[in-house]
Chain A
Amino acid sequence: MIGGDWSWERAYEAIPLLWDGFKITLLATLLGFLIAAALGLVIAIIRETAPRLIATPVRAASEFVRLTPLVVQLLFAYSLLPQFSALQIGVTVLGIHYSSYMAEVYRGGIEAVPKGQWEAARALSLPPHRTWRAVILPQVIRSSLPALGNNAVSMFKDTPFLFTITVVELVSAAQQFGAAKFQYLEAITLAGLFFLLASYPTSVFIRRLEKRLAY
């Protein structure tokens, strides 16, 4: 049975390589998240405030990215732009792909701001950019944090797709080790464990954060 095939020696041997891969995974997640959070906000603001001529194509592009597979987008960008490194392409595409989700999160947040806030700002004659900066966005970002966090965790779990464009993150490290040793059992199991140990506590933390953030 599987139990009989397990080798603690092999497992131990795999850890340093898996750890290297894991570091790449974390790096990709962090950079991708920064791109996604920032770009998503820009998209959401454009959709709310820009004239139809600009807002509609932006929205269409964002939906297109959201509804098509990350893997295909990665392969596409990697083939199209050979002058960039795999990690650069991977992080950027990951960021752009998730920015479309973030934009939806922000959009929900913007719509959740009570109408009275807009009216009070208007009653005080606050100019639009000030209304956004001082009143609306702080409330939107605060209420969006849990969803942003959840998207970050999703992104973390999607980083393995970067292996399709030769980025050596955690799962491809496991795969390489497994191929070299003719035994994938320990490497893949440990990779799964890495993911679980990173994502589960984070999700729990985000859930707690959500409860504490309500005004």
Chain B
Amino acid sequence: MIKFDKVVKRYGNHVVLDSLDFTVGRGEKVTLIGPSGSGKTTILRLLMTLETISDGVIWVEGDPLTHEKRNGKLVPAREKHLRTVRKKIGMVFQQFNLFPNMSVMENITEAPIHVLGKTADEARARARDLLDVVGLADKADAHPSQLSGGQQQRVAIARCCAMDPQVMLLDEVTSALDPELVDDVLEVLRNIAKTTDITMLIVTHEMRFAKDVSDRVLMFDAGKIVEEGPPDQIFTDPRNERTKAFLKAVL
């Protein structure tokens, strides 16, 4: 489903991802763990085309994401190509990034109407369903400034799901929340993970959540994968030294 093919990402002289190879299967829920600066967030941002790749190719469902095929060769993708492939992917941000000038309903229906071409009624109906799923049915007309952090993040999740993405990227979505609000958000995500076959890439520090939800866990350090395996194995019996040290510090 997703394939990173010798992907390199450099910021000036600093190499964040060094010839990274990995794949994610369709419907797989994969958690990326590791210390800050290890490149986990960069992977999500590259997939969401928020950053440009320095070298290598990223494939999504057999189509190149960062490049396009022209005359049988791969060339860096133009904005038009990016916009088509990007529609399959959605992201939920650490800072929620809801649009403050729009109501909750407008936030959720904006992209379906103007990108997917749905009618206002269709979009709103779907939005109401999603608001039910995240437990905020009565907040449809509220503005983000009137909601708590946890509520805003749940709206952000609904907004992402409204686009029916095939891949959902979750970038430390609970790290900016007060502790008592975290569980509601994780509950929603657990729900989504268990009831849909959306491919999910999760960067998180919530290890219990990761254990519950993931099919596979990847431990990153300095831009490379140092260990990977099913959550049971990684969390209870890590084999790599770095993984052991990291988990000891975090758990």
Do A and B share a complex?
yes
Closest chain-A Cβ to B193's Cβ sits at a distance in Å of 19
Asked whether, in the complex, the Cβ of A120 is within 8 Å of the Cβ of B93, the reply is yes
| 8 Å CB contact of A120 from B89, B98, B101, B145 | B98
Instruction: Tell me whether A119 is interfacial, beta carbon within 8 Å.
Output: yes
Asked whether, in the complex, the Cβ of A135 is within 8 Å of the Cβ of B99, the reply is yes
Per the bound structure, the CA–CA distance linking A139 and B102 in Å amounts to 10
B98: A residues at CB distance < 8 A:
120
Per the bound structure, the CA–CA distance linking A117 and B91 in Å amounts to 13
Given contacts A116-B93, A116-B95, contact A122 B100 (CB under 8 A): no
Asked whether, in the complex, the Cβ of A117 is within 8 Å of the Cβ of B99, the reply is yes
Asked whether, in the complex, the Cβ of A215 is within 8 Å of the Cβ of B145, the reply is yes
Closest chain-B Cβ to A129's Cβ sits at a distance in Å of 10
Instruction: Tell me whether A142 is interfacial, beta carbon within 8 Å.
Output: yes
A residues 115-155 near B (Cβ < 8 Å) are: 116-117, 119-120, 122-127, 130, 134-135, 138-139, 142
Given contacts A126-B110, A126-B115, contact A120 B83 (CB under 8 A): no
- Chain A interface size band reads 10 to 19
Asked whether, in the complex, the Cβ of A122 is within 8 Å of the Cβ of B102, the reply is no
Instruction: Tell me whether B198 is interfacial, beta carbon within 8 Å.
Output: no
Asked whether, in the complex, the Cβ of B114 is within 8 Å of the Cβ of A127, the reply is yes
Per the bound structure, the CA–CA distance linking A142 and B102 in Å amounts to 13
Asked whether, in the complex, the Cβ of A119 is within 8 Å of the Cβ of B114, the reply is no
Residues of A participating in the B interface, judged by any CB pair closer than 8 Å: 114, 116-117, 119-120, 122-127, 130, 134-135, 138-139, 142, 215
20 example contacts (A-B, Cβ-Cβ < 8 A) are as follows A119-B50, A119-B97, A122-B49, A122-B50, A123-B90, A123-B160, A124-B110, A124-B115, A125-B86, A125-B163, A126-B110, A126-B114, A127-B83, A127-B115, A130-B115, A134-B99, A134-B114, A139-B101, A142-B101, A215-B100
The 10 closest A-B pairs by CB, nearest first: A120-B97, A124-B111, A116-B97, A138-B101, A123-B91, A125-B115, A215-B100, A130-B114, A116-B95, A125-B87
Residues of B participating in the A interface, judged by any CB pair closer than 8 Å: 48-50, 83, 86-87, 89-91, 93, 95-102, 110-111, 114-115, 145, 156, 159-160, 163
